[in-house]
Structure 1
């Protein structure tokens, strides 16, 4: 869930780091020879009713014979509930019931915003460490009953950042949360400015995020792959309000890196996110977009298409996404599938 801060936050410039090369195609899907379908969800479960319904929703996704994997785009709880160990363990048990490989990227509600009094007044970095121990205890492997090998940035201390390849399309899941990428002050702990440890974490995560973008796009270009899919929680292009620098400034180096890589790639790039809770499909960095100036992007990025999944009170469906056969009008196509329970 997006939050606003009254304190100004300086934009921090991050330098990308090189990382080792991963295997070409985890899961054995031949490049360019078949379709590949996966499910995307996010901002779920929110509140008691959704917590009760979530196991049934998982079984509905499991029952779809087309689905080969599932991605959760962050926010495993609402923004006003406690970030307890018990809750994390309960959600991990739910995640373990997904039949297919399950990729999860953290959202702000389960760590960056846990400083709030009604969240338990936790140190957010302690909660991030707990998330990593609960959900990323096997770096290089997904969750789910049928686990899949993935490239992981565990060597950088970022086991949640992973990449993999399916049907000639490269995927990257990146810990990019809302709340201005986790840099808004921990007001629940009495702070009015970001702490030194908070900004050190931001710099590390930004470094890792840009490195994973560079690796993913670099390998896609080298192999001549058809598209790149980037998956994260933060809606950096939220169309529902006019942001201030305190809302989005920390995303700037990452957005600029994403724009540069997408421009150089020249083929379709898809950004899957949650955060703003309402389904949306747009091209946020197309010519004439106000986001170009806000983020200081040079040129435009018409090949970047962003899709936001329904979440929170709008969470009545899941997104069924298919990598289409070569020669199709679009590399990816998708449909919203209503929950039936």
Structure 2
């Protein structure tokens, strides 16, 4: 049973969600043909763009503008970038990385929600040697928050208003954790990272941090995980309260649904709490759920969540976006009249296929 404090928090969040103008938020929105807003989208199909883990390397930087141009010619309402502004060992995490990425995101005509990736901060400490410059990971995350999340508006030439977890007492630093409602769907963005969600272990996967640094990053992981679980559970509760048909969760990490943890527990125990919480919320929610993530760099569409009897949870879908050497994107069509609600389609950028 929820406590009075829990109920009050949900009620306050519901009021904030209801007050959001989740349609285009820029001055030019009134003249945009998509500017009918989320309420009018409840009864009609619409499409969302999904991409991440790019640009990777010199060739990726050539291909990336083509992908953005392809998305601009598509009929999407908004897009979600699920993290990683560059390859792990490609260049440094200096300020130019974020300012250049910001300029690229703002070439998109429609709103774009940008989530952090491990190559943007957790791996900037020097895991890949001189190529990353040995930056302080937590300072880089703070800088990324200032660059990409200064207000309650998304990026893109047209923006939309979103709610950030930083609006809630006790979670002020987590500006990257975000949610919004569009049509019959609640969208949730979380800072869940590859590289074991920034939970380091001495001697694992090339780690050579001193013990003091391992303790510092472990504390960061644990605090952020609590924030992620709070935002996920509260957002699902709001979606159920509002009678929405679906929830789409987006984060960066490949959460290891294939259960490789049994073989390499120290490389995957950073997801020991967020995955059970996701499963709990998916099973309790009456509608459809989808998880969108990057990290492993190839398109994947499956139903990896199972009930205790081994049968698949049909109302849950995982989609992994393209990345690395495949500079393409994925479209997600939301159809309120389809019992499955979500349909995912790989969108191959033709100009990025024959140039290797």
Bucket of the pairwise TM-score, normalised by the shorter protein: 0.7 to 0.9
Query: Which residue matches 1:225?
Result: 244
1:37 corresponds to which of 39, 43, 47: 47
**Consecutive unaligned residues in structure 1, runs of 5 or more:** 1-15, 291-298
**Counterparts of 2:77 and 2:156, CA distance in 1:** 11
SS of the aligned residue for 1:158 comes to coil
* Contact 1:184/1:194 (8 A) holds in 2: no
Q: Which string of whole-angstrom CA distances, capped at 9 and with x for unpartnered residues, describes residues 57-77 of structure 1?
A: 21110111x211011011110
Change (3 A) 1:301 1:191: farther
2:197 corresponds to which of 156, 181, 199: 181
* Contact 2:60/2:327 (8 A) holds in 1: no
Structure 1 runs (4+) greater than 4 angstroms displaced? 16-20, 185-189, 238-243, 299-302
Change (3 A) 1:333 1:115: same
Query: Which residue matches 1:255?
Result: 275
Give the Å deviation of 1:301. Answer: 4.5
Query: Which residue matches 1:130?
Result: 143
Query: Which residue matches 2:69?
Result: 59
SS of the aligned residue for 2:110 comes to coil
Task: Tell me, yes or no, if structure 1 residue 268 matches structure 2 residue 288.
Answer: yes
Q: Which string of whole-angstrom CA distances, capped at 9 and with x for unpartnered residues, describes residues 284-326 of structure 1?
A: 2213699xxxxxxxx984432111111112x242101110132
* Contact 2:53/2:82 (8 A) holds in 1: yes
Bigger Cα Rg:
2
Task: Tell me, yes or no, if structure 1 residue 114 matches structure 2 residue 130.
Answer: no
* Contact 2:330/2:345 (8 A) holds in 1: yes
1:284 corresponds to which of 301, 304, 321: 304
Change (3 A) 1:159 1:289: farther
1:152 corresponds to which of 164, 181, 186: 164
**Counterparts of 1:300 and 1:184, CA distance in 2:** 32
1:308 corresponds to which of 286, 297, 320: 320
Task: Tell me, yes or no, if structure 1 residue 84 matches structure 2 residue 94.
Answer: yes
Q: What is the TM-score when the length of structure 2 is the normalising length?
A: 0.82
* Contact 1:44/1:75 (8 A) holds in 2: yes
Q: What is the TM-score when the length of structure 1 is the normalising length?
A: 0.85
Give the Å deviation of 1:188. Answer: 7.0
SS of the aligned residue for 2:278 comes to helix
Q: Hey, which of these two has a bigger chunk of helix by percent? A: 2
SS of the aligned residue for 1:311 comes to coil
**Counterparts of 1:231 and 1:58, CA distance in 2:** 20
Query: Which residue matches 1:162?
Result: 178
Q: Which string of whole-angstrom CA distances, capped at 9 and with x for unpartnered residues, describes residues 226-279 of structure 1?
A: 111000000102549665111111211111111111111132110001111111
Which one is further off, 277-286 or 195-204?
Answer: 195-204
What is the alpha-carbon root mean square deviation over aligned residues? 2.5
